[in-house]
Amino acid sequence: MTHASQDASHLSRRTALTGLVGGAGVALAAGCTSSNGTSAQGVAPRPTASATDSSASATPGVMTLFRDPAFNFNGLLALGGAGFGSSEVGEVLTAVNTINKAGLSAQTYVATFKKLGDQLMGVPQGSKPDRQTTRLRALRAAQYYAQALFFVLGSDTPDSEEQLYKAGRGAWDKFCELCDPTPVTADIPYGKTPLPAWFFRPDDSGKQRPTVILTNGSDGQNVDMWTYGVSAALERDWNALVYDGPGQGQLLFVDRVVFTPRWETVVTPLVDWLVARSDVDADRIALTGLSMAGNLAPRAAAFEKRIAALVAMPGCLEPWLGFPPEIRKILTPNKAQTNNTWNKEVVPELPAAAAATMKKRFEPFSVPAMLAAREGKVFTDFYTPAKSIESLAITSVLGRITMPTLVLDYEDEQFYPGQPRTMFDKLTSPKDYVKLTAATGAQLHCSPMAPQQHCDVVFDWLQETLPGR
Residues 115-171: tens digit of each pLDDT: 999 999 998 888 889 999 999 999 999 999 999 999 999 999 999 999 999 999 999
- Residue 288 is predicted with a pLDDT of 98
Residue 3's pLDDT band, with cuts at 50, 70 and 90, is: very low
Question: If you compute the radius of gyration of the chain from its CA atoms, what whole number of angstroms results?
Answer: 21
Among the ranges given (29-33, 128-132, 212-216, 219-223), the one the predictor scored with the smallest mean pLDDT: 29-33
- Residue 124 is predicted with a pLDDT of 86
CA distance 245 to 240: 16
Asked whether residue 430 carries a pLDDT value surpassing 60, the answer given is yes
DSSP annotation string for 99-147: HHHH--SHHHHHHHHHHHHHHHHSPPSSSPP-HHHHHHHHHHHHHHHHH
Asked whether residue 102 carries a pLDDT value surpassing 90, the answer given is yes
pTM of the model: 0.91
> 264 near 220, Cβ under 8 Å?
no
Non-local (6+) Cβ contacts of 134 within 8 A are 174, 178
Among the ranges given (29-33, 95-99, 184-188, 209-213), the one the predictor scored with the smallest mean pLDDT: 29-33
> 86 near 141, Cβ under 8 Å?
no
Asked whether residue 98 carries a pLDDT value surpassing 90, the answer given is yes
Non-local (6+) Cβ contacts of 10 within 8 A are none
Mean of all residue pLDDT scores within the chain: 89
Among the ranges given (128-132, 200-204, 251-255, 403-407), the one the predictor scored with the smallest mean pLDDT: 128-132
Across 262-267, average pLDDT: 98
Beta strand 280-290 with 309-313 is parallel
- Residue 61 is predicted with a pLDDT of 65
CA distance 82 to 239: 22
Beta strand 209-215 with 239-243 is parallel
φ, ψ for residue 151, nearest 5 deg:
-110, 5
> 37 near 414, Cβ under 8 Å?
no
> 148 near 113, Cβ under 8 Å?
yes
Would you give the end-to-end CA distance of the chain in angstroms? 44
Neighbours of 9 (CB within 10 A): 11
- Residue 434 is predicted with a pLDDT of 98
> 463 near 236, Cβ under 8 Å?
yes
Residues 320-374: tens digit of each pLDDT: 999 989 999 999 999 999 999 999 999 998 998 889 999 999 999 999 999 999 9
> Tell me, what DSSP letter sits at residue 344?
I
Q: 409: closest CA among 391, 376, 431?
A: 431
